[in-house]
Amino acid sequence: MACAAHDRKLRPLSWLGISLIGLSLSGCDANWKQRLGIAPEPTPSKLPQVSDGPSAPPLKPGRNVIVSAVDRVGPAVVRIDTIKRVSNPLGNLFGGAPAIQQQQGQGSGFITRSDGLIFTNEHVVEGADRVSVTLPDGRSFRGKVLGGDPLTDVAVVKVVAEKLPVAPLGDSNDLKPGEWAIAIGNPLGLNNTVTAGIISAVDRTNALGSGQRVAYIQTDAAVNPGNSGGPLINASGQVIGINTAIRKAPGAGLSFAIPINQAKRIAQQIITTGQASHPYIGVRLQSLTPQLAKEINATSSRCRVPETNGVIVVEVVDNSPASRAGIKACDLIKSVNGKRVKDPSEVQLAVDGGRVGEPMPLTVERDGASEKLSVRPAELPRQD
């Protein structure tokens, strides 16, 4: 759980891959989709239900709006305790520690379905041999991890129970800076802690390094170790995100949450297959600046690029979707899926609008001319 308290390290841009929704809904009436809280594209198969909370109307604003919001969501916020068995290579030598040791961790989560479906962070339950879920009313259950996605840090846990309190899920697509942001969780072992602030920014594509697969919600609500996996809620008492990371700064900290709409899509894949699917096109990208463009033009005989800001293709993987689509090193990517892009993270997130194996329009600038290409993403190989 300590990892929620530290800055995520900046890492070199990884091969481009994006979470993909390979699931679909069919044969569902409008009322079912309204209760689910999503508006899926027409597809051939039925998506799993991830929420059976009521379609709660917004609370009336007033001086007790935070209290009312917490009253609605708080009973469904849980503490997650984990035990992981790890081997000690020096165990049993010279009377030392045992060969197998136990590591304990703690985080938060929230119930999204009354039969015991729980959302949390993948890093909260990663590698856990035992998961215990405790409700605010004191009830405790053995939890089973249905699956987790390290690329978006979303995980789903299931307990065997009925008629549990449910946290209503909101819509993270229309959030605005300045709105209330309320965090509930178990920081530093202090159960059922409530902190409040505002949404500082939305669609943070550079919050935790380049090549990320989440456009985070940034807030100034106080979040600490133990808050990871807990809900970020709005003034209407609806979950709008999953608290996942903070960045420390002198005198203050910044906290980041996974938008709930993205978390729902990943959860549906996990419930269906036990894992999330991520497409990739097979390129390595670099942010282009006027200074970098001057250096490239002065030192390379292969590239002549405009002295501007943008995204340049550094390398294309052999036999990848990008190479088959005709993307080349030194191309400047201008748009993906009809969306203008300005940096590698925006490219990464724009690819999320595509599907594995389906054509995705892509515009590049090559030798001063615009080229329209079509790429079919493949599924990113999973690392065991």
pLDDT means over runs of 10, the chain (384 residues): 43 41 43 54 71 74 80 96 79 61 88 96 94 95 95 95 96 94 92 94 80 86 91 95 85 85 94 89 92 90 88 93 93 92 88 84 92 92 67
Single-letter code of the amino acid located at 151: L
* pLDDT reported for residue 278: 87
- The DSSP call for residue 352 is G
Which two structure tokens, joined as six digits, stand for 117? 């479906």
Q: How many CA atoms lie within 13 A of 268 on its CB side?
A: 22
Specify burial of residue 56 (Cβ count, 10 A radius: 0-12, 13-18, 19+).
Answer: middle
Write down the pLDDT at residue 43. Answer: 55
What CA–CA distance (Å, rounded) separates 212 from 245?
A: 13
**221: alpha, beta or left? (left if phi > 0; alpha if psi -120 to 50):** beta
Q: CA 9 → CA 12, 212, 243, 247, 363, distances in Å?
A: 10, 12, 18, 10, 31
| Residues that are catalytic | 123, 153, 228
Report CA 258 to chain centroid distance, whole Å.
Answer: 5
Q: 360: helix, coil or strand?
A: strand
Annotate 16-27 with b (16+ C-beta within 10 A) or e (fewer).
Answer: bbbbbbbbebee
* Contact in structure between 267 and 239 (CB atoms under 8 Å): no
pLDDT of residue 2: 42
Residues paired with 101 in a beta bridge: 86
pLDDT for 90: 59
Structural domains of the chain, with CATH = 2-85+98-273 (2.40.10.120), 279-379 (2.30.42.10)
Number of neighbours of residue 366 by Cβ within 10 angstroms = 17
Q: Which two tokens stand for residue 53?
A: 């909370």
Tokens (6 digits) for 355: 């599907």
In which residue are the tokens 């198969």 written? Answer: 45
245-249 LR contacts (CB < 8 Å, sep 24+): 245/4, 245/8, 245/153, 245/207, 245/208, 245/216, 246/4, 246/5, 247/7, 247/8, 247/207, 247/208, 248/5, 248/6, 248/7
Q: What is the pLDDT of residue 12?
A: 40
